[in-house]
Amino acid sequence: MQIKLYHSPNSRSQRIIWLFEELNLDYELITINKSRSTNRSPSNKERVNIPNAVLPLKFPTILINTSDQNIAITESSAIAEFFAEHSAKLRVTSEKIKIRSDYLFWKNYADASFMPNLALKQIFAQIVERTPLPFKWGSLLFKYAFNKGYLDQAIDDQLYRINNHLSHQTWLAGEVFTIADLLLWFPLQACVIAHSNIAQYPVVMRYIEHIQQRPAFQKALAKGQWDDSIFQQYWQNAW
């Protein structure tokens, strides 16, 4: 089985590089720089070696070549679950209902509940940035009202829930690291570097430190061309 991973630096596809490093998989990493300032798609030049099977391209996209078929998979959660099941690693094998329910809940929580609120913050920030100057006050007012009326409290509620859950265990599904932890890292990292009151969630901070100590995580950062300063600026602009 040959695996190609289409990746854009500082995007959610960083989690899939980390996944593959944790699983010690052989894969080809195809890095395409996508401008966050313009949110542009790959140029025609960049598309030359991209199969039609993975177009329109989003990050991450996986292309799997086997002896009899080619398979394209998108969505980080789907990719993570596919390889966790295929390798029988980074998943829960315990029959205990509490551990299994935690695993099933948290592996879907990152992209189904947590990330959408952060994405909304980015959307409103981009609207403000792209609004012509004479009308910018209107978009600024709308952004402020939506943040104060809903988003800020919703994100704080989510951080509180994560902080409380992890205060009783090392990882989301108990004492075993799983894809649930891997998937939660990206939105949680955005909060850690941009949320002005993140210090009130000390367990979250400790959890991020545990993640950063994993050798596969550090190896993935180097392979994925991760840039803390770019990531920080991008998310701080949303707050």
Report which DSSP code applies to 57. P
Higher pLDDT, 36 or 237: 237
Query: Using 50, 70 and 90 to split pLDDT, how confident is the model at 50?
Result: low
What's the DSSP call for residue 174? Answer: B
Mean pLDDT of the chain: 92
Partners of residue 4 on adjacent β-strands: 28, 63
29: β partners: 5
Give the count of beta carbons closer than 10 Å to the beta carbon of residue 96: 10
pLDDT reading at 151 higher than 70: yes
φ, ψ at 7 (rounded to 5°)? -135, 145
Residue 129: pLDDT band (50, 70, 90) is very high
Alpha-carbon gap, residue 205 to 10, rounded angstroms: 20
Could you tell me the domains of the chain?
2-87 (3.40.30.10), 97-236 (1.20.1050.10)
Side by side, which strands form the sheet with 61-65? 28-31, 2-7, 61-65, 70-74
Quote the pLDDT of residue 38: 43
Q: How far apart are CA 99 and CA 92, in angstroms?
A: 8
Nearest partner of 53 among 38, 70, 31, judged by Cα:
70
Mean per-residue pLDDT, 153-163: 98
- pLDDT higher than 50, residue 39: no
- Please count the residues of the chain: 239
Helix (H) or strand (E) holding 164: helix 152-166
237 is written with which tokens? Answer: 């602009």
Residue predicted with more confidence, 143 or 50: 143
Q: CB within 8 A of 164, min separation 6: which ones?
A: 203
Overall average pLDDT of the 99-114 stretch: 97
Prediction pTM value: 0.91
Statement: residue 37 has pLDDT above 90: no
Nearest to 236 by CA among 181, 185, 183, 189: 189
Confidence of residue 44 (pLDDT cuts 50, 70, 90): very low
